[in-house]
Amino acid sequence: MAIDAISLEVFKNLFISVAEEMGVALQRTSYSPNIKERRDFSCALFDPQGQMVAQAAHQPVHLGAMPASVRAALDVYANNLRTGDIVILNDPYLGGTHLPDITLVSPVFIKESENQILVGFIANRGHHADVGGMTPGSLPLSTELYQEGLIIPPLKLARGSRINQEIVQLICRNSRTPEERKGDLEAQIASMRVGDQRLQELANKYGISEIQEHMAGLLDYSERVTRQAITTIPDGSYSVIDYMDDDGLTDSPVPIQVTITVAGDEMDIDFTGTSPQRPGCINAPQAVTVSACLYVIRCVVGDQAPANQGCLRPVNITTPLGTLVNPQPQRGVAGGNVETSQRITDVLLSALSQPLPHIIPAFSQGTMNNLLIGGHDLNRDKPFVYYETIGGGMGARPDKDGISGIHTHMTNTMNTPIEALEFAFPLRLKRYTLRRGSGGDGKFKGGDGMVRDVEFLAPARVTLLSERRKHTPPGLHGGHHGEAGENILFKSGYEEIHLSGKETLDVSSGDILSIRTPGGGGWGVPVDK
């Protein structure tokens, strides 16, 4: 079969379908609400060299970072991976992002004559609601990685389809919710089996050479389309600096600076000038920074280019070691994956708004509004851990208003349905609504944030990890800023206590926590109506 536009499109969708079916299997067989309901997972397909070829439309912050996980697995087990092997890892300094994100990597072989021929690799990543650490949910306000939970370097979870139950037991013993961990790990393994089977079927149907030629062809095609898109950006250097509220330990704002230089069909992204690594937990591993860059490039290129590593070939990314966007081991990174990634996206889009003023939207809410709750469920007489990210306002676009109450940029999760939340946890949702008027005014208005009020039916420990509580999401081209978010605790339902953006606290039965998420910025000068 010759490689042409038609065959590339066919194989692109065949490869994507493998990742999508893996995701369906993972969601349907998972145990925790975080994966089953919120869909906090991702799946992808890689070529024999470990380059990402295709991904399902799951979590951008996962998918852009997963190539580092595959590379770490290959570095540890070079030429020592066989049929049925599965490598497990979560170490942020060895291919991971933050500790709750557990990644599985597996080679796929087919038999030709008497030889096992490598077709490629499959991988999935699931956010586990608790993997130990200082506080329930494993996203604590830490000062070092060791406080955040169980660290898993690349290890063989399975050898020849035989699961190492000792590793499973180790992970479960270090979690406050071992049944969930076991169930979600089994779901991830089931997903890998589905991916292995489907990729084998493709290789047997079309032949190994056709599969690998089209893998290479798709990478080359994405590179060509990305280069063409870069040529539409005027040559020059575009710099922006923005600030995170704080690192959770000090009150000082944390600068993120980027300079994007465009020359012909190549782009240089340089984070020189960004804050040194912080004592708090908001440091972003290099894989997370690269993931944000890939996401923004994909936004500029559009749907014409398949979402794979070919998109990064024309791009050089500079992340100085020892900075917020490339910390030295073993700095805390719990918040880097969820919060810093959002701000990196903000500065990248803001820089590109200079040469592309009529394409780039205003700033979105700039946070995932992480809420983690853990304690003892008195009715079920067992521990529980609840994790949620909460949507907010999308920045206004150059031609229309921003969307209200939605997850934006580096997160693509769903909300936990009220029925699922109240069934699984000793919690009651008192209010869940749009935060009217929180989006910034403009020619086009920013989307509104949300209000989510949770009543505690049992004592619990709460961790808040959120941004844009001090610095509002800016508008663009004369548009007004969106409203900052707020975290408020009502003790016994009445006494109002304003909380910081990053805080750990103990609550009692009857207390109510109100999370009020930021609105998006407006775009363009407001027009009198």
Q: Domain map of the chain by residue range?
A: 5-223, 361-529
The 10s digit of each residue's pLDDT in 108-147 is 999 887 788 999 999 999 999 999 999 999 999 999 999 9
The 10s digit of each residue's pLDDT in 233-272 is 999 999 999 999 999 999 999 999 999 999 999 999 999 9
What confidence score (pLDDT) does residue 515 get? 98
What confidence score (pLDDT) does residue 62 get? 63
What confidence score (pLDDT) does residue 463 get? 98
Q: Which residue has the tokens 């959002």?
A: 342
What confidence score (pLDDT) does residue 1 get? 57
Collect all residues with Cβ–Cβ distance below 8 Å to 41 and sequence separation of at least 6.
23, 26, 27, 30, 35, 58, 59, 62, 124, 125, 126, 127, 188
What confidence score (pLDDT) does residue 529 get? 56
The 10s digit of each residue's pLDDT in 212-226 is 999 999 999 999 999
Residue 322 reports pLDDT greater than 90 = yes
Residue 528 reports pLDDT greater than 80 = no
Collect all residues with Cβ–Cβ distance below 8 Å to 281 and sequence separation of at least 6.
139, 140, 141, 142, 143, 148, 247, 248, 332, 333, 334, 335, 336, 465
The 10s digit of each residue's pLDDT in 452-479 is 999 999 999 999 999 999 999 999 999 9
Residue 307 reports pLDDT greater than 70 = yes
Question: DSSP labels for 107-142?
Answer: EEEEEETTEEEEEEEEEEEEE-S---SSSTTS----
Residue 192 reports pLDDT greater than 90 = yes
Whole-number mean pLDDT of the chain? 94
What confidence score (pLDDT) does residue 416 get? 86
Residue 58 reports pLDDT greater than 80 = no
Residue 350 reports pLDDT greater than 90 = yes
